Structure 1
Amino acid sequence: METGEHKVSRWKEDIQSVFDRDPAARNTFEIITTYPGVHAIVFHRLAHALWGIGLKWIARVISNIARLFTGIEIHPGAVIGRRFFIDHGMGVVIGETAIIGDDCTLYHGVTLGGTSWEKGKRHPTLENNVVVGAGAKVLGPIVVGEGVRIGSNSVVVKDVPAGSTVVGVPGKLITARKPEQEGHREKIAKKIGFDAYGATKDAADPVAHAINCMLDHIHVMDKKMESMCEAMKRLGVDEEETNLPALDSCEIVSTAEELQKLDEEVPEKEKTTE
């Protein structure tokens, strides 16, 4: 059993986790009085303690009272770690054999449910630092690895390796970018004025994917051209020097006025076509 000091320490951690993960939180009094996610955790800690000593009916009653007041249903048998945060909370369901690690976050409408009527482990296990987006369903006795991000409205029914991102129905893994791939993409994108990761980081955006493929292609072409030029020089082929403008010195034209001004600066003979 936890001592009173440990309970106070956990209570402070739960409050601090709200400050850490919700920028709308202004002060401790507001959190204690207006955050249903915090209320649900307090009820659950009490119900879980009673469940553990065999007072299961009372534990279920407390769980149902919590659901009535918060809209969050957590079975008293569920095991929940430290600094757990439920944001908004309405419609969250956590099953009896669910296990949640430390520093996890759930948004509204999340279900940690079962897929079988068999006894035993039938609900998910979430390791530390997992974030589950609004409306997502994580079903069955699966293991969601540490640091996983599950996108909103996803349905996850298979184990998820640590550090992954899952989106879609059924949930699909987004392949992690390799460090070297990420580096050259960002350099080229910065030079040509495209922010490849501004709004689409870790998201299955087809436009961003297509542009990322183009950046990869440009990178490979640059490497091949450099190799070809070096080989030609070694063979004694005289190559006409061409001063290509550096990408990072190019200005990005973004308005109609700038385009018109640029067009006026081009000599007339260059505008004429045969």
Structure 2
Amino acid sequence: MAELMPAASTLPDLWLDWCAVTGTPADQHDQSTLELFRRQACPSRALRHSLEPRAGKPAAPAWPFHLRPGDTALTRIIRGGSSHIGNPDVDWISRLRLRRLLFAAVLIAPASLGGLGLDRRGIRSLTPDGLLDLRPRIGRADDQAACPACAAWSWLEILGTNSGWSRGSVRALGRAFDGPTDGVHRHELADPRPEWLDWPDQANLLPSIDRWGYLDPYASMHPSSLSNLIRTMVATAGAPVVERQQTEPNPAPPVRHISQEEEAAILRRADELNARIARLLDEFS
């Protein structure tokens, strides 16, 4: 029987950080790689032992081992994230990141919870065509605020908007809440922005988001960033959910337009002020 590696979700942070720095695949556990890791990172004996190949154990997906596979962790993550998205005090960039978090949770959660059960490599190599085949397997829930398929639908709307529309459209979508759908789940509706399918072979369904809200159009997020995202899922699953009445943000006040008469008066006052300043400069020069 072929030797299998430890599950990516159980890999220690020191190993993941070392792999990110050295460019080593996290599932590369051959003896020469482990020896180099031992010399450079000085891990404990227990940590080294946890990385050694083990035979006879099935490979596990990237789902955090802190979350039991038989509980309701995925719906708790989605419901908690949806609650934060509905918080008017949360900025639009954080809302984008929350939607990405929920989508990532759907990708790695076990099929028994409604997810796709992908590992880390599967997440980063997933293409639109690949997701198109897997999407029917995503679970559904009666509560739209905890529905895996709806969480995926919402993130794909952002990806499609980022692919074929302006950044202003992405910002507007990030600022918006999930509006009412008259009892119909969002995933039952057609994709409003199917442009996420425009690059069928490009593995970029989980891009990085910078501090200004720009989504990387070329590649999926770095493995170390994905590790942070998975750790955040654990915290989200354990956090209490605050039920909120989702309402749209207050509309921006209307822009006041200046009439031609007002503009002429403003310019006249400005000319008078400039002339006064010029006289004062002449007087004290």
* Higher RCO (CA-CA < 8 Å; seq separation 6+): 2
Length-normalised TM-score, structure 1: 0.24
Looking at secondary structure, tell me which structure has more helix per residue: 2
Structure showing greater radius of gyration is 1
